[in-house]
Amino acid sequence: MRSFRDRDYIQTKEGYFFCVVGPTHPEDRVIAYLKYVPDPSGKWGGTETRFRRVLGHYTTLDLLETLKFLEKHPEYLYDSPVLGIRISAVPMDRIASHLKPEQKLCQLISMDGLDVLQRKAVDLAALVSDEAGIRIECFGVTGSLLLDIHQDFSDIDLIVYGARNAKALKEAVTRLYEESDSSIRRFGEERLKEWALSKARMYPLTYEEAVAISKRKWGRGRFRQTMFSVHSVKLEEDVLERYGDKIFKPEGMMKVKATVSDASEADFLPSVYKVEDVAVHDAPIVKDIHEVVSYEGFYGGIAEKGERILAYGKLERVINRKNGEEHHRILVGSKEALGRDYIKPA
């Protein structure tokens, strides 16, 4: 049995669907955010059971709203001594089913009578698999397709597993965008404008900054007129630490400008940018800031090695419990920032 991976789903005994966050979890529960709950008037689902989204958008403020919803189910709230915050996490004894994206894609490939969205998902996976030279078993589908509650308006959420595969797929998809006869496309001008305007409303960005970031998001586009996203997820062999190996202590908010020294983990969740040449703005100097880390997926994969970034977020002291070493990081996506934090090209 494999462990719980980022973007797996869990269905609880009440029928709630939680989306798994990241690759490391406590021994007795799984860190995950609430996405869908049963509701007869919901937009998702079939004739027997309908669901509505509790998480409106993928922002910290929307996530905090799901924690309020879960106050009537306190067993799903967890005060993490490692992260130093309250999060949502599903106890092992509340899990009714563990839904795995790679198993779902395998099932769809072997099925007859697929609906339009399922067929597109299978064809998209096959296309990028061939182009990147990656076995189809290294892909999966998540979101509403995984849960069998998708509708005509749903997007395709594709998963690629493994650090090497993620790098190869990024190169392949970027190449396909440039081919005139390719069936996958970047957003057109109108869709790009609409998307950037929505992001500028959700995040502390100007419209121009949102456009600049959107052009760096290689994993979002159109396939046969359906929106798709590609998410990179680590395999167990890529995960080098366990939950609790490091603990995090808050030390206020801070703005920095820094050079990215390593962006190899920027496409995963959390997105990690190793940084150097860090300049602190309007705050006491901290000389050992080594990382800018984001739990806001929007800021994943937007800067490459050697580029300068501007980041505002929670300053955390990182304590390695295995060797006693310490350093600092800037965390984007914290409750304390209340949606005011960001990462953007400097």
Query: What pLDDT score was predicted for residue 47?
Result: 77
CA distances from 340 to 72, 261, 273, 311 (A): 28, 25, 19, 11
Domain 245-345 class, CATH top level: mainly beta
* C-alpha–C-alpha distance, residues 253 and 259, integer Å: 19
CB neighbours of 277 closer than 8 A, spacing ≥ 6? Answer: 258, 259
Q: Report the chain (346 residues): mean pLDDT per 10 consecutive residues.
A: 93 97 96 97 91 93 95 97 96 98 98 97 98 98 97 96 97 95 92 93 95 92 95 96 96 97 96 97 91 96 97 98 96 94 94
**Matching CATH topology for 102-186+217-236 and 245-345?**
no
Closest by alpha carbon to 302, among 276, 268, 339, 266?
266
pLDDT of residue 48: 85
What architecture is domain 102-186+217-236?
Answer: 2-Layer Sandwich (3.30)
Yes or no: say if 61 and 338 are a contact pair by the CB < 8 Å rule. yes
Contact indicator for 289, 330 with CB cutoff of 8 Å: yes
Q: Where are the domains of the chain?
A: 9-99, 102-186+217-236, 245-345
- Residue recorded with tokens 């995040």: 203
